[in-house]
Amino acid sequence: MSVLRLEDNIKDTMQHTTSKLKRTQSDALFNEAKTYFPGGVNSPVRAFKSVEGSPLFIKNGNGCMIIDEDGNQFIDFCCSWGPLILGHNNPEVKQAIISTVENGTTFGTPTAVGNTIGKLILDNHRYIDKLRFVSSGTEAVMSALRLARGYTSKSKIVKFEGCYHGHVDSLLVKAGSGLATFGVSTSAGVPESFAKDTLVLPLNDLQGVRELLQSKSDEIAAVIIEPVPANNGLLLQDKDYLIGLRDLCTEYGVLLIFDEVISGFRVGFEGAAGYYGIQPDIITFGKIIGGGMPVGAYGGRADIMAHIAPDGPVYQAGTLSANPVTLAAGIATLTQLLDPNFYPSLRQKTEHFVQSIKSHITSKGYEMQIVTIGSIFWFAFGHDRIIRSDQIDPASMEKFKRMHGELLNNGVYLGPSGYEVGFISSAQTYKTLDQASKIICKAIDNIF
């Protein structure tokens, strides 16, 4: 189905603003899925636990639109949680995948396509010298931590409350009582012996980092942060804070890891490192770098990366790492991102969209805000700037839940949790964004 057809059809959806979504097929499929998979899903947030109804089973995506098994159409702001910066079924990405698959899917050997993506990234990203591909963001982070530990011969890691780094054992932790404390695991199955090697601090508190590094830097291998924290709301940090982190890590001989699985290639080709002009020691990637195929990667300074096997003693391997299909999708995606107009145009679209909702919220005086950077946005409730996870009022999630339901009924798809951010893909047009904005403003009216 062509994108144009889909866009025209939104008008129909918009007219039935009170009609309930038809969910017959999705509900039946979900009931069946529950007999195969825990909770009926293969990743927990997909289960729609914090919004109304059960999950929609999506069967088709084209441009900025997705269609579920009942034939409902939505303007998509989830974008598979971030990878699809070009939207669904981008013609070049699709073609690259198809022509690669013609020659086989994986060989477990080096490939020429590997060199192509290596050159493409390293020639255009000033903050990493060498790169290693893996198959998920979680794997990238896990490997980066091992590398940091192997390089420094130290064992503890500092992380921040409100940053997510995948489901790595030692990072599924929250702060215990007290200020800079040993982590307490947030998932069953994570031994306390793992959690205790992770120290957890609040975001936006440089003094806390200084004190911790002063007392424990001889045990701390690395500080890891999402420089654009986008997994627990969008907790934008001050540039000075991030620069301060860099300086403290340098001063105390601790590596700084930027987890750019979301922000990499999203806030610019050079991600948050380029956006803020800060040189981390290691950067982790995922999502966009694989163009919608399963992927992760980590890169860093040449002398640090030289510690990875087979050059060095830090073991890390993967049967399907850098498989040619993923890399072809990555190349086709990243090549389009290198067009000098790509990011400015996407930012302009996002600003237009965000501004239209912002003026509505302001004119009505609603206790709500929309936070944004690059092509990421987040709806937050309340007026105050939210910079730490403890500033998010859990009670406000009730409002998000109602808003999410209203939006689905009217053809707009947001990720099914108020803690998740939304993404604008380049497949959005001013027309689709204006349509979505109208629907969103109406939904906001209805919840206030």
Taking CB under 6 A as the binding criterion, the range among 49-57, 69-77, 158-166, 176-184 that sits at the site for ligand PLP is 158-166
Q: According to the binding rule CB under 6 A, does residue 226 interact with ligand PLP?
A: yes
- What is the rounded distance in angstroms from the CA atom of residue 359 to the CA atom of residue 382? 15
DSSP states along 1-62: --HHHHHHHHHHHHH-TTPPPP-HHHHHHHHHHTTTSGGG-SSGGGG-TTSSSPPP-EEEEE
Q: How far is CA 210 from CA 161, 246, 247, 257, in A?
A: 16, 11, 10, 17
Q: According to the binding rule CB under 6 A, does residue 165 interact with ligand PLP?
A: yes
User: Which of 76, 259, 270, 420 is the binder for ligand PLP (CB under 6 A)?
Assistant: 259
- H/E element, 230: none
Q: Which of 154, 156, 159, 287 is catalytic?
A: 287
User: Which of 13, 72, 90, 138 is the binder for ligand PLP (CB under 6 A)?
Assistant: 138
User: Which of 55, 280, 286, 299 is the binder for ligand PLP (CB under 6 A)?
Assistant: 286
User: Which of 87, 166, 274, 291 is the binder for ligand PLP (CB under 6 A)?
Assistant: 166
Examine the residue annotation and report whether 413 is marked as an active-site residue of this protein. no
Nearer to ligand PLP, 55 or 286 (CB): 286
Q: According to the binding rule CB under 6 A, does residue 141 interact with ligand PLP?
A: yes
Q: According to the binding rule CB under 6 A, does residue 48 interact with ligand PLP?
A: no
Examine the residue annotation and report whether 164 is marked as an active-site residue of this protein. yes
User: Which amino acid is located at 290 in the chain?
Assistant: G
Encoding tokens for residue 219?
Answer: 């045990």
Nearer to ligand PLP, 76 or 259 (CB): 259
Taking CB under 6 A as the binding criterion, the range among 151-159, 163-171, 396-404, 438-446 that sits at the site for ligand PLP is 163-171
Rg of the chain over Cα atoms, rounded to whole angstroms, equals 22
Q: Which residues, numbered 172-191, are part of the site for ligand PLP (CB under 6 A)?
A: none
Q: Residue 216 — φ and ψ, nearest 5°?
A: -130, 10
Q: According to the binding rule CB under 6 A, does residue 321 interact with ligand PLP?
A: no
Give, as one character, the DSSP assignment of residue 308.
B
Examine the residue annotation and report whether 287 is marked as an active-site residue of this protein. yes
- What is the rounded distance in angstroms from the CA atom of residue 312 to the CA atom of residue 112? 24
- H/E element, 409: helix 397-409
Q: Which of 68, 76, 197, 259 is catalytic?
A: 259
Binding site for ligand PLP (CB under 6 A): 136-138, 141, 164-166, 226, 231, 259, 261-262, 286, 296
Active site residues: 164, 259, 287
